[in-house]
């Protein structure tokens, strides 16, 4: 493999949630490295820590203990603004429930992450159009989410994740709300993006979905239970 630092390096990563008198140990001593260009499926039973792991890696929340390095930068050394910038420039997020703004066109949804960038209007327009084009929605740019199918809405969300040209896409159960055929299409899209060099880390419950990935990390009770590399399907 390359000598570049891993895109993600977690060392002794722990996350506790304090609930009144109780503490939930959502992540316990997680050690893992994910390299540039990987395609990883994160699996495990409900409550095993998958979303917590994704939220840590996405710098959406801070670990309780341990070290997390993203693209060579120790997240603990970044203040909130610097974390936000790293998030915006390095990562794209995709969620099960799409998280699109209603009554807002596909095009404007995709432009949202560009709001914080110093880019002129024409370039924002071009970027957003290119991202929608990339996900096969060139002819749906003016549609609102309610005028799109579930699969199309998830494509808009993927276009929004791509618009800043991130190195990595983090997707938490991106096919969980889709029928099997649509889920396969969306996985085909993630596969194509990965083939173009985007690192993909996605959570799924389904073995058939995970078979698109080349590595499967299984969580159980907040720990990594197995970490297997495999041939792409
Ligand atoms: P998964 O995504 O694998 O279903 P999660 O990472 O969401 O699991 O949750 C791991 C554990 O942490 C569960 O026991 C869950 O109840 C708990 N948990 C997750 N988020 C919170 C939170 N914000 N506050 C308290 N407990 C949480
Ligand atoms: Mg979850």
What is the CATH classification number for the domain harbouring 120?
3.40.50.300
Q: How many residues does the chain have?
A: 233
Q: Does residue 161 lie within any of the structural domains?
A: yes
State which residues of the chain have pLDDT below 70.
1-3, 232-233
Atom 27 of ligand 1, nearest CA residue: 17
Looking at residue 129, its pLDDT comes to: 97
CA-wise closest residue to 32 among 48, 13, 47: 13
Q: Which ligand is nearest the CA of 219, by number?
A: 1
Among the atoms of ligand 1, which is closest to the Cα of residue 222? 10
Q: Which ligand is nearest the CA of 42, by number?
A: 1
Q: Does residue 183 lie within any of the structural domains?
A: yes
Full DSSP string of the chain: --SSPPSEEEEEEEEEEEETTEEEEEEEEEEEEE-TT-EEEEE-STTSSHHHHHHHHTTSS--SEEEEEETTEEGGGS-HHHHHHHHHHHEEEEETT--PPTTS-HHHHHHGGGGGS---HHHHHHHHHHHHHHTT-GGGTT--GGGS-HHHHHHHHHHHHHTT--SEEEEESTTTTS-HHHHHHHHHHHHHHHHTT-EEEEE-S-HHHHTTSSEEEEEETTEEEEEEE----
Q: Which ligand is nearest the CA of 18, by number?
A: 1
Q: Does residue 143 lie within any of the structural domains?
A: yes
Among the atoms of ligand 1, which is closest to the Cα of residue 52? 6
Q: Does residue 191 lie within any of the structural domains?
A: yes
Looking at residue 232, its pLDDT comes to: 56
Looking at residue 2, its pLDDT comes to: 53
Q: Does residue 72 lie within any of the structural domains?
A: no
Looking at residue 118, its pLDDT comes to: 87
What is the 222 CA–ligand 1 centroid distance (Å)? 9
What is the 46 CA–ligand 2 centroid distance (Å)? 7
* Domain hosting residue 144, numbered range: 36-59+77-229
Looking at residue 219, its pLDDT comes to: 98
Query: From CA 195, how far away is CA 27, in angstroms rounded?
Result: 31
CB of 49 shorter than 6 A to ligand 1: yes
Looking at residue 3, its pLDDT comes to: 67
Among the atoms of ligand 1, which is closest to the Cα of residue 55? 6
Looking at residue 88, its pLDDT comes to: 87
Q: Does residue 29 lie within any of the structural domains?
A: no
Query: From CA 132, how far away is CA 110, in angstroms rounded?
Result: 8
CB of 46 shorter than 6 A to ligand 1: yes
Q: Does residue 117 lie within any of the structural domains?
A: yes
pTM: 0.94
Query: From CA 33, how far away is CA 23, in angstroms rounded?
Result: 27
Cβ–Cβ under 8 Å, residues 90 and 166: yes
Q: Does residue 27 lie within any of the structural domains?
A: no
Atom 12 of ligand 1, nearest CA residue: 26
What's the number of domains the chain is made of? Answer: 1
pLDDT tens digit sequence for 80-126 = 999 998 998 899 999 999 999 999 999 999 999 998 788 999 999 99
Atom 7 of ligand 1, nearest CA residue: 51
């Amino acid at each position: 493999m390359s000598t570049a630092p891993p895109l993600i390096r977690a060392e002794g990563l722990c996350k506790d949630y304090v609930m009144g008198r109780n503490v939930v140990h959502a992540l316990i001593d997680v050690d893992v490295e994910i390299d540039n260009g990987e395609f990883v499926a994160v699996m495990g039973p409900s409550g095993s820590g998958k979303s917590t792991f994704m939220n840590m890696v996405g710098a959406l929340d801070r670990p309780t203990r341990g070290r997390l390095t993203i693209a060579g930068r120790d997240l603990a050394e970044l203040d909130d603004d610097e974390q936000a910038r790293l998030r915006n420039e390095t990562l794209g997020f995709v969620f099960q429930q799409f998280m699109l703004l209603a009554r807002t066109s596909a095009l404007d949804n995709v432009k949202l992450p560009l709001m914080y960038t110093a880019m002129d209007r024409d370039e924002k327009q071009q970027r957003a159009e290119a991202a929608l084009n990339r996900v096969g929605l060139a002819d749906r740019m003016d549609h609102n989410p309610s005028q799109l199918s579930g699969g199309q809405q998830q494509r808009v969300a993927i276009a929004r994740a791509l618009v800043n040209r991130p190195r990595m896409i983090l997707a938490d159960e991106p096919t969980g709300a889709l029928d099997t055929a649509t889920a396969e299409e969306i996985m085909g899209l993630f596969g194509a993006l990965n083939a173009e060099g985007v690192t993909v880390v996605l959570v799924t419950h389904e073995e058939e979905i995970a078979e698109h990935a080349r590595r499967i990390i299984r969580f159980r009770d907040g720990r990594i239970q197995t970490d297997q590399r495999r041939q792409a399907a």
